[in-house]
């Protein structure tokens, strides 16, 4: 393992863990290095909403004591991590990038945070996102847009843009995001890092502020596939506090890191390589698939015939669930409350008018309409039936192949402000990622090249339910035979 010459904040999770276990460095030194890096670059990329420097250093001192007392321990022990700011952290603000939760401090901890703390991970801060995770660019955040470290005039993707940008900029060793329709994978693709959406039910959603409960899933964003596997092991497992948690043991994901794809069958969905995909994106993805084929994988075309209905289906179901989930923000129990009102209904109306941004309001209204009397059968019920057809498409495909390979996004990262005023154009960017959420299957995005303008391009690998081992093996093999994951952006001043 070559880590000589790297600054501490540049280390991957597994590199940092090895040096901590060998007593070459301390957690305090590692955390201090990352905090210095945040100080250096975060005013440019705006990846964080909250940085808990004092708390992180205190956790680092505790980690150093554990390392001294017990020797070899969890690979996460002493590692500074960033957490998407829609995952509850007791005693630390959790805002969902919204005015309505601008000063909310949770009295309880999300299960994934509890698991990270038990293993000695250091929570260094909370990252920026699209408000309530509703967006594909982190431009809808109440606290301002996150910029892409590769080009500060471009978006970092969304909704987990802050988590992806922070890892890409070496302002966090690793991070957690959430993925409702591609919100881990798309920003990972845009920022040139690795992002994994686990199988629905693999990771507890307890403490994740809900957007669309049947679609949301927490997952890691990391510098390489090895780190992704280690994070998946740490946060997975059954949780009785989450009724959708599946009673399966946590995967021993690092055992899937095998540099070999001989005999693995990879399917190429024909619908994902038709009109709408950027020429350079398609070229890089096809080159990646050709490399996997050269390494021994078998490649064949498959069909997911209901793909064309995925975007419409998703934006009916997701907004309907959002309409229900966000009804709790009424100015009565917690969060922002509008001071000017004369009766209870006016309190509700004024609080929600002033507390929510325009995209959140749009999705609440869309969802409320889809659920309303006279339209429920025509929209919501029909969308649920189409969701079943999309799920069956994947089930049939995985009877023929072990996994699927596709672009993560049809285009590389676009300019800030370029699409924000055209919601439909923005929604269509989710075409390659949302089907995995509708079907509940796992999917990973990893860097597979760059555009002619130097922007990262992501390769997406999908497999059947609870088959994370397959996508990790394919992703790891590709990564070990390329060097895209080793490349990092050179961050310069914000363009005028």
Q: Which domains does the chain have, with CATH numbers?
A: 10-305+392-486 (3.90.1300.10)
180/137 Cα distance (integer angstroms): 14
Pick the catalytic residue: 183, 236, 445, 451?
183
For 143-197, how does the pLDDT look when each residue is reduced to its tens digit (9 = 90+)?
A: 999 999 999 999 999 999 999 999 999 999 999 999 999 999 999 999 999 999 9
pLDDT of residue 334: 86
Question: pLDDT digit of tens for each residue in the chain (496 aa)?
Answer: 556 678 999 999 999 999 999 999 999 999 999 999 999 999 999 999 999 999 999 999 999 999 998 766 799 999 999 999 999 999 999 999 999 999 999 999 999 999 999 999 999 999 999 999 999 999 999 999 999 999 999 999 999 999 999 999 999 999 999 999 999 999 999 999 999 999 999 999 999 999 999 999 999 999 999 999 999 999 999 999 999 999 998 889 999 999 999 999 999 999 999 878 999 999 999 999 999 999 999 999 999 999 999 999 999 999 999 999 999 999 898 889 988 898 999 999 999 999 999 999 999 999 999 999 999 999 999 999 999 999 999 999 999 999 999 999 999 999 999 999 998 889 999 999 999 999 999 999 999 999 999 999 999 999 999 999 999 999 999 999 999 999 999 997 655 4
Token pair for residue 179? 């993925």
For 446-487, how does the pLDDT look when each residue is reduced to its tens digit (9 = 90+)?
A: 999 999 999 999 999 999 999 999 999 999 999 999 999 999
Pick the catalytic residue: 17, 84, 236, 445?
84
Pick the catalytic residue: 33, 159, 245, 256?
159
Longest dimension (CA), the chain: 71
Global confidence as pTM: 0.96
Which candidate, 113, 133, 116, places its Cα nearest to that of 205?
113
The neighbour count for residue 280, using CB atoms within 10 Å, is 17
280/292 Cα distance (integer angstroms): 19
The neighbour count for residue 247, using CB atoms within 10 Å, is 9
157/148 Cα distance (integer angstroms): 8
CA atoms lying within 13 Å on the CB side of residue 359: 27
Alpha-carbon distances of 233 from 31, 198, 228, 392, 494, rounded to whole Å: 22, 11, 9, 28, 37
For 306-328, how does the pLDDT look when each residue is reduced to its tens digit (9 = 90+)?
A: 999 999 999 999 999 999 999 99
User: Is position 385 annotated as part of the catalytic site?
Assistant: no
Contact 83, 94 (CB under 8 A): no
Token pair for residue 449? 């090249």
User: Is position 163 annotated as part of the catalytic site?
Assistant: no
User: Is position 178 annotated as part of the catalytic site?
Assistant: no
């Amino acid at each position: 393992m070559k880590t000589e010459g790297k600054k501490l904040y540049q280390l991957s999770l597994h590199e940092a863990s090895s040096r901590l276990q060998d007593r070459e460095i301390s957690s305090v030194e590692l955390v201090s290095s990352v905090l210095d890096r945040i100080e250096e670059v975060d005013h440019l990329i705006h990846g964080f909403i909250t940085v808990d420097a004092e708390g992180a250093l205190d956790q680092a001192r505790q980690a150093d004591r554990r390392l001294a007392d017990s020797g070899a321990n969890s690979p996460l022990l002493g590692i500074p991590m960033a957490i998407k700011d829609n995952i509850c952290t007791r005693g630390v603000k959790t805002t969902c990038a919204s005015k309505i939760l601008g000063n909310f401090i949770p009295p309880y901890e999300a299960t994934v945070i509890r698991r990270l703390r038990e293993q000695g991970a250091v929570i260094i801060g909370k990252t920026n996102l699209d408000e309530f995770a509703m967006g594909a660019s982190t431009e809808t955040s109440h606290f301002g847009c996150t910029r892409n470290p590769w080009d500060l005039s471009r978006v970092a993707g969304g909704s987990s843009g802050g988590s992806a940008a922070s890892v890409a900029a070496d302002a966090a060793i690793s991070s957690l995001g959430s993925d409702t329709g591609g919100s881990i994978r798309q920003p990972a693709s845009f920022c040139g890092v690795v992002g994994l959406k686990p199988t629905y039910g693999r990771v507890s959603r307890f403490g994740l502020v809900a957007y669309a409960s049947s679609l949301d899933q927490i997952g890691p964003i990391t510098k390489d596939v090895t780190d992704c596997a280690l994070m998946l092991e740490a946060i997975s497992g059954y949780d009785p506090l989450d009724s959708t948690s599946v009673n399966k043991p946590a995967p021993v994901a690092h055992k899937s890191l095998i540099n070999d794809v001989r005999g693995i069958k990879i399917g190429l969905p024909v619908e994902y390589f038709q009109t709408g995909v950027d020429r350079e994106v398609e070229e890089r993805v096809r080159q990646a698939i050709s490399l996997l084929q050269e390494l021994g994988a078998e490649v064949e075309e498959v069909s997911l015939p209901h793909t064309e209905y995925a975007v419409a289906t998703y934006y009916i179901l997701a907004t309907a669930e959002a309409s229900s989930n966000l009804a709790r923000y009424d100015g009565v129990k917690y969060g922002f409350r509008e001071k000017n009102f004369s009766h209870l209904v006016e309190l509700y109306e004024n609080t929600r008018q002033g507390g929510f941004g325009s995209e959140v309001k749009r999705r609440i209204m869309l969802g409320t309409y889809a659920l309303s009397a006279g339209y429920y059968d025509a929209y919501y019920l029909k969308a649920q039936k189409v969701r079943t057809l999309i799920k069956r498409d994947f089930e049939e495909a995985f009877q023929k192949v072990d996994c699927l390979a596709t672009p993560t996004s049809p285009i590389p990262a676009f300019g800030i402000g370029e699409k924000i005023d055209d919601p439909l154009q923005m929604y269509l960017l989710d075409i390659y990622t949302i089907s995995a959420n509708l079907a509940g299957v796992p999917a990973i995005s990893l860097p597979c090249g760059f555009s002619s303008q130097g922007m990262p391009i992501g390769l997406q690998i999908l497999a059947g339910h609870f088959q994370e081992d397959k996508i990790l093996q394919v992703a790891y093999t590709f990564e070990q035979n390329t060097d895209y994951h080793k490349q990092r952006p050179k961050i310069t001043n914000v363009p005028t």
